[in-house]
Amino acid sequence: MTTSSETWLEQLHDHGYRVTAARRAVVDTVFGTTHALTPSEVYDTARKKYRALGLVTVYRTLEKLEELHLIQRVHQPMGCQAFIAAGIGHQHLLLCQQCGQVEFFEGDDLDTLTKSIARKTGYQIQEHWLQLFGLCTNCK
Amino acid sequence: MTTSSETWLEQLHDHGYRVTAARRAVVDTVFGTTHALTPSEVYDTARKKYRALGLVTVYRTLEKLEELHLIQRVHQPMGCQAFIAAGIGHQHLLLCQQCGQVEFFEGDDLDTLTKSIARKTGYQIQEHWLQLFGLCTNCK
DNA sequence: TTCCTTACTGAAAATCATTTTCAATAAGTA
DNA sequence: TACTTATTGAAAATGATTTTCAGTAAGGAA
Ligand SMILES: [Mn+2]
Ligand SMILES: [Mn+2]
Ligand SMILES: [Zn+2]
Ligand SMILES: [Zn+2]
């Protein structure tokens, strides 16, 4: 199961969107990074692949990629405008506080907790956000 | 142990900040709500208590309250500019997806998980964000 | 391949939230 | 009460994101 940025372009195409040079540049950029990127960072990097790219197109493309669940927004204390390739299935993020590297992990089990909280509060719990912060092997 | 918004005003005072009518209005507003409020929502509500209030002062007061850890930012899919009175000690948020009501809970135990992830990834894990979403008793 | 419809583009303008500037005001201490 | 200076709201500035628009090109149909 090898995935490449072509997969994303195919998905865009399958949903009636056109595959353009500008979108290729944005898709390649976001697909191939292990750091959450802001629109402006995507712009800077993608413009090295496609000089004529406009920042507006970056915003528009990120919007579509998010809509197709190919990327996801990364929330951080410093800001919440960064994006990363979405995890597959039920996964959560682990972020390096020093260099911003992003890892996914799975295997969290919050059933006991959520059932207990549901009972105590009367809420019907539907989803959860979990995110770990730390230092990566390079930074620690 | 009864706390009132006076506590917050005292804290402001103890940190060398002045207690003004504008700040009273903001503090009263944020202290006494069970919903996360945006600066603009705080403004609208607080202006009912103090008509002359300026939006700028809302921003400035929220900034100070956050700095003193009396309020905390609430991250949501729709936006991350809302604030709520901070929980005491190690607590997490439970949000109603329908009406926006906020509850705190504690008693999560992520030690096993974080140790396991630390071992697998090599990261030194330092903190975590956990947030539950659901429907409150009124909304479900 | 060529044609044709229309989605997509980047530039510029508009909008929106937040921050800065500034002169007047008032909190809090002496 | 007097005085220092933090705080105020209005207005201007900033910065990020969105909208507008006329030209361009993707990609299905012929
Ligand atoms: Mn989970
Ligand atoms: Mn916890
Ligand atoms: Zn790192
Ligand atoms: Zn509710």
Residues of B in contact with A140 (CB under 8 A): 123-124
DSSP annotation of A134 reads E
Looking at the fold, whether B73 and B119 belong to one and the same domain comes out as: no
- Write the pLDDT tens digit of every residue in B97-120: 999 999 999 999 999 999 999 999
Q: What is the DSSP string of B105-128?
A: E-----HHHHHHHHHHH--EEEEE
- Write the pLDDT tens digit of every residue in B26-58: 999 999 999 999 999 999 999 999 999 999 999
Q: Which residues touch strand C (CB under 7 A)?
A: A 16-18, 20, 22-23, 50, 52-54, 56-57, 60-61; B 13, 18-21, 38-40, 55-56, 59-60, 63, 81
Structural domains in chain A (count): 2
CA angle A24, A26, A31 (to 5 degrees): 90
Say which CATH number the domain at B40 has. 1.10.10.10
Give the whole-angstrom CA distance, residue A44 versus residue A130.
Answer: 30
Residue B23 resides in a domain? yes
Residue B140 resides in a domain? no
Range of the domain at B109: 92-134
Looking at the fold, whether A68 and A25 belong to one and the same domain comes out as: yes
pLDDT at B10: 97
Give the whole-angstrom CA distance, residue B58 versus residue B43.
Answer: 6
Q: Which of B97, B131, B135 sits opposite A129 (nearest CB)?
A: B131
Looking at the fold, whether A98 and A74 belong to one and the same domain comes out as: no
Print pLDDT tens along chain A (140 aa).
Answer: 557 899 999 999 999 999 999 999 999 999 999 999 999 999 999 999 999 999 999 999 999 999 999 999 999 999 999 999 999 999 999 999 999 999 999 999 999 999 999 999 999 999 999 999 999 999 99
- Write the pLDDT tens digit of every residue in B6-17: 999 999 999 999
Residue B139 resides in a domain? no
Contacts of B137 (CB under 8 A, 6+ apart): A121, A122, A123
